[in-house]
Chain A
Amino acid sequence: MKNWKNNKTLNGLKYSGNIISHPIQGVYEMRFEGQGDLGACIILMCLFVLSVICKQVYTGFIFNEVNERTYSVVREIANVLFPFFLWCIANWSVTALVDGEGRFRDIYMSLCYATVPCIVTNFLYIPASYWFTAEEAGFLGIISGVGTVFFLMYAFVGNLTVHQFTLSKAVLTVVLTLFGMVFIMFLMVLFASMFDSLYSYIAGVVTEIQLRV
């Protein structure tokens, strides 16, 4: 109780307010002046995943698209986290080549802080979906649209500030990062199929030996 006010994680969570109100300055201080907290960012990321899942599961009947027979929470978590980390890794790899100043930790943290508007709108979406009828679906579209647009904006500005890029260079790295993501996925598929053949080869050899000996 005595450290309540000096709790780093709590302060880190509070710091998201600074980033929302002053994105460039907030992220700059996070990168270069040790503001923000990694633990808080992990909590924010978990909240983001939770908000996405709640938005799918607890949406009102009219807008609920979840098929209970086939819905899998694990798959939905992977659906959010996989691109999330893929982006971080691809961005880190690309910016290391073009002299970005951000460390992996900063890239990750700036992205986590950028999800805050999305978390808010996702949780707003749920009660709103109970109120509106099918004809008023546009209002819900606005709610989630605002969340997405702000998320993309903060993520871009955060990335730009973390690496201390100019605008044009930031746009270029975003495009390169997207290519990097595709490339990483390609490599993953390649490795998966390679290990698959390796496994079947070893399994084949083992069966052969078992049958001969």
Chain B
Amino acid sequence: MRKHLLCLVLTLCLLVCSGISVCAEPAAQVAAAAPTEEGAAASVDMPTSAFASYTYDCWGNTIECPDPYALIRKVDGVALGVGDLKKVIDVYAKDGFIYLTANGDTEKDNALIKMDEQLNLVSDWRGYYDGGKFVPFSKPCGIFVTDEGKIYVTDTSTYSIYCFSVEGNGAAAKLNLEKTIGAPSVKDSSIIDEEFVERYIPSKLVVDRTDRIYVVATNVNEGIVTFNDEGKFDGFLAAGKVTIDPFTKFMKKYIYTDEQKRRIQTFVPINYNNIDLDASGFIYSTLAASNESTVQAEIKAKKGTEQGALVRRLNMMGSDILKRDGYMPPIGDADILDTMMNKDASYQGLSQITDVSCGTYGTYALLDNNRNHIFVYNFEGYLLYAFSGPDISAGGMKTPIALAQSGEYIYALDSNSRSIFMYKQTAFARSVMKAIQLEKDGQYSAASEVWSDVLDYDATYDLAYLGLGKTAYWKGDYEKASDLFKLCNNKTWYSKAWSELRKDVLARWFMPIIMTILGIVVLVFVLKIVKRANAKKRKEAEG
């Protein structure tokens, strides 16, 4: 009888438990839905039909966010009025002007085009003047414009870099050759040989303030080729690091023959594929993943290092100084581990980062030509938003190859439609950028107001909570800060806030705890003394 009763009670308990969980779920859903509705109401002015923009949370799940950019123009050569461009190569933005290089099989396909911010034609150059003589371009590739307005162009058929100055204005402007930097010469350096000179083809480049030239070259895996201000080959920047594991070291010392030792590669090949210069003069460079499993391991560990990097920020010594504090390392798409299980997905594998473009306030954008997304990161390595995509009808791109930023515009070059896509910031992205700018300037209370605006657009935007939390933290309101850091799942900052909070807890409880312990010790002593005295007395009484 008792057994039966027990069974009955247990079943009842189970029923009640499952009932509670069933009831609790819809309630939770309603609570979650409420803020998004609010956000939608506030973002009426957002474009409606578009790609799905997203960010990543701390678990690597995609979290939808409002579209940060909207496609507003799409211009090809014909629309520009320069005739069909056979092959667009590179785009660069400087001081409100957009520069574009295009080449092709015939001489008239080679072009260097200058546009204004709205993509209206300014100049269409098909060649340059070398001492008064007109010389047509042969195969222009990478392009860079310095602060002084000098235009540097690499050439993949003559293996040279040309530096032009612009004479005149508008359509009548012409290019004058200032200097030519040829392929590195064996005479200049002992670290290169004839074989290197033969395979060197300059591709993308940047020029720093001291006129040093950094070139990403095709077929070169030793690092970024640098030339000094006189155009002489200087060396390689940020070559692949040699990492020796204990096993190889042991084998080399005791087992391998000299022949085997000779055959072991002593340097790790590294394939840089694009390059850009940020406002502080540091080089951002993208590279192909040399080892996919390393990158995947870093995604899984949610901690990026130099080993699995797809983008690097290099100082003049060639060391990587990119901050990677975000929820995910800056490698583009992070949920690839799941999509790889899904065999039907049309886009698989790691993001192929092909270009990087530095924006304002330390932000930078990466271009992925696997899933055709553009990722924007802030200087700490947090993903602000990812947008665009492979869906042309939704404002995406087919085969993006190059990226440039100017003010509130992002320009992407699509080699398939041979056109340039112009994305403009929406109110959401403008607020985010404003908040980042204010934070960078140290105006934390102003920044927190802007972050609250951002929350009106997107109530699930983690970075806004992080920004609000940071403001509270700098103000000294650690309790509020720790709540906000918990909300955006940021353990590093929560830990910082907690170590401050802990001081208060210690200050409040240290004395009481110590006094209690002291009190107990004293009590024990007193009791012992009393006991001993009692025993003595009893002994005396007995004796």
Q: State the A residues within 8 Å of B (CB).
A: 61-62, 67, 69, 131, 133-135
B502 interface residue per 8 A CB criterion? yes
In the bound assembly, the distance between CA atoms of A67 and B57 in angstroms comes to 11
Residue of A nearest to B485 (CB): A61
Minimum CB–CB distance for B45 against chain A, Å: 33
B525 interface residue per 8 A CB criterion? no
Are B59 and A62 neighbours in the complex by a CB distance under 8 Å? no
In the bound assembly, the distance between CA atoms of A131 and B495 in angstroms comes to 10
Residue of B nearest to A131 (CB): B502
Partner of B494 from the list A62, A67, A69, A135 (CB cut-off 8 Å) is A62
In the bound assembly, the distance between CA atoms of A67 and B498 in angstroms comes to 22
Residues of B within 8 A of A69 (CB): 59, 61
**Contacts A69-B59, A133-B499, A133-B502 hold; do A61 and B492 have CB atoms under 8 A apart?**
no
In the bound assembly, the distance between CA atoms of A61 and B61 in angstroms comes to 19
Residue of B nearest to A64 (CB): B491
Residues of A within 8 A of B486 (CB): 61
Are B59 and A133 neighbours in the complex by a CB distance under 8 Å? no
Are A134 and B502 neighbours in the complex by a CB distance under 8 Å? no
Q: Which 7 pairs of residues, A with B, have the shortest CB-CB distance?
A: A134-B495, A133-B499, A133-B495, A62-B495, A67-B59, A62-B491, A133-B498
Are A135 and B495 neighbours in the complex by a CB distance under 8 Å? yes
Residues of B within 8 A of A133 (CB): 495-496, 498-499, 502
**Contacts A61-B486, A62-B498 hold; do A134 and B59 have CB atoms under 8 A apart?**
no
Residues of B within 8 A of A131 (CB): 502
Minimum CB–CB distance for B352 against chain A, Å: 28
Residue of A nearest to B499 (CB): A133
**Contacts A131-B502, A133-B502 hold; do A61 and B59 have CB atoms under 8 A apart?**
no
In the bound assembly, the distance between CA atoms of A133 and B494 in angstroms comes to 9
Residues of B within 8 A of A134 (CB): 491-492, 495
With A62-B498, A134-B495 already in contact, 15 other A-B pairs whose C-beta atoms are closer than 8 Å: A61-B494, A62-B491, A62-B494, A62-B495, A67-B59, A69-B59, A131-B502, A133-B495, A133-B496, A133-B498, A133-B499, A133-B502, A134-B491, A135-B495, A135-B499
In the bound assembly, the distance between CA atoms of A135 and B491 in angstroms comes to 11
The winner among A61, A69, A131 for most chain B CB atoms within 10 A is: A61
Residues of B within 8 A of A135 (CB): 495, 499
| Chain B 450-498 residues near chain A, CB threshold 8 A | 486, 491-492, 494-496, 498
Q: How many residues of B contact A (CB 8 A)?
A: 11
Minimum CB–CB distance for B84 against chain A, Å: 50
Query: Can you pick out 21 interface pairs between chain A and chain B where the beta carbons lie within 8 Å of each other?
Result: A61-B486, A61-B491, A61-B494, A62-B491, A62-B494, A62-B495, A62-B498, A67-B59, A69-B59, A69-B61, A131-B502, A133-B495, A133-B496, A133-B498, A133-B499, A133-B502, A134-B491, A134-B492, A134-B495, A135-B495, A135-B499
Minimum CB–CB distance for B500 against chain A, Å: 10
| Chain B 120-156 residues near chain A, CB threshold 8 A | none
In the bound assembly, the distance between CA atoms of A67 and B327 in angstroms comes to 14
Residue of A nearest to B60 (CB): A67
Taking chain B's interface residues, is the majority helix, strand, or loop, or is none over half, making it mixed? helix
Residues of B within 8 A of A67 (CB): 59
The winner among A62, A131, A135 for most chain B CB atoms within 10 A is: A62
B357-397 contact mask (Cβ, 8 Å, vs A): 1 or 0: 00000000000000000000000000000000000000000
Minimum CB–CB distance for A99 against chain B, Å: 39
Residues of A within 8 A of B502 (CB): 131, 133
Residue of A nearest to B491 (CB): A62
Residue of A nearest to B489 (CB): A61
In the bound assembly, the distance between CA atoms of A21 and B168 in angstroms comes to 93
B54-87 contact mask (Cβ, 8 Å, vs A): 1 or 0: 0000010100000000000000000000000000
Residues of B within 8 A of A61 (CB): 486, 491, 494
Minimum CB–CB distance for B407 against chain A, Å: 39
In the bound assembly, the distance between CA atoms of A135 and B502 in angstroms comes to 14
In the bound assembly, the distance between CA atoms of A67 and B496 in angstroms comes to 22
Minimum CB–CB distance for B534 against chain A, Å: 32
Residues of A within 8 A of B61 (CB): 69
B5-30 contact mask (Cβ, 8 Å, vs A): 1 or 0: 00000000000000000000000000
In the bound assembly, the distance between CA atoms of A26 and B531 in angstroms comes to 37
Minimum CB–CB distance for B32 against chain A, Å: 13
Residue of A nearest to B493 (CB): A134
Residue of A nearest to B496 (CB): A133
In the bound assembly, the distance between CA atoms of A62 and B491 in angstroms comes to 5
Residues of A within 8 A of B494 (CB): 61-62
In the bound assembly, the distance between CA atoms of A43 and B496 in angstroms comes to 40
Minimum CB–CB distance for A141 against chain B, Å: 16
Minimum CB–CB distance for A138 against chain B, Å: 14
Residue of A nearest to B58 (CB): A67
Residue of B nearest to A68 (CB): B59
In the bound assembly, the distance between CA atoms of A61 and B489 in angstroms comes to 9
In the bound assembly, the distance between CA atoms of A69 and B486 in angstroms comes to 17
In the bound assembly, the distance between CA atoms of A177 and B28 in angstroms comes to 48
Minimum CB–CB distance for A34 against chain B, Å: 29
Minimum CB–CB distance for A66 against chain B, Å: 10
The winner among B486, B491, B496 for most chain A CB atoms within 10 A is: B491
Residues of A within 8 A of B496 (CB): 133
Minimum CB–CB distance for A14 against chain B, Å: 27
Residues of A within 8 A of B498 (CB): 62, 133
Residues of B within 8 A of A62 (CB): 491, 494-495, 498
In the bound assembly, the distance between CA atoms of A67 and B499 in angstroms comes to 24
Minimum CB–CB distance for A100 against chain B, Å: 37
Residue of A nearest to B61 (CB): A69
In the bound assembly, the distance between CA atoms of A134 and B498 in angstroms comes to 10
Residues of A within 8 A of B499 (CB): 133, 135
In the bound assembly, the distance between CA atoms of A134 and B497 in angstroms comes to 11
In the bound assembly, the distance between CA atoms of A61 and B482 in angstroms comes to 10
| Chain B 491-535 residues near chain A, CB threshold 8 A | 491-492, 494-496, 498-499, 502
Residue of A nearest to B482 (CB): A61
Minimum CB–CB distance for A68 against chain B, Å: 9
Minimum CB–CB distance for A137 against chain B, Å: 9
Minimum CB–CB distance for B103 against chain A, Å: 49
Minimum CB–CB distance for B136 against chain A, Å: 60
Minimum CB–CB distance for B469 against chain A, Å: 13
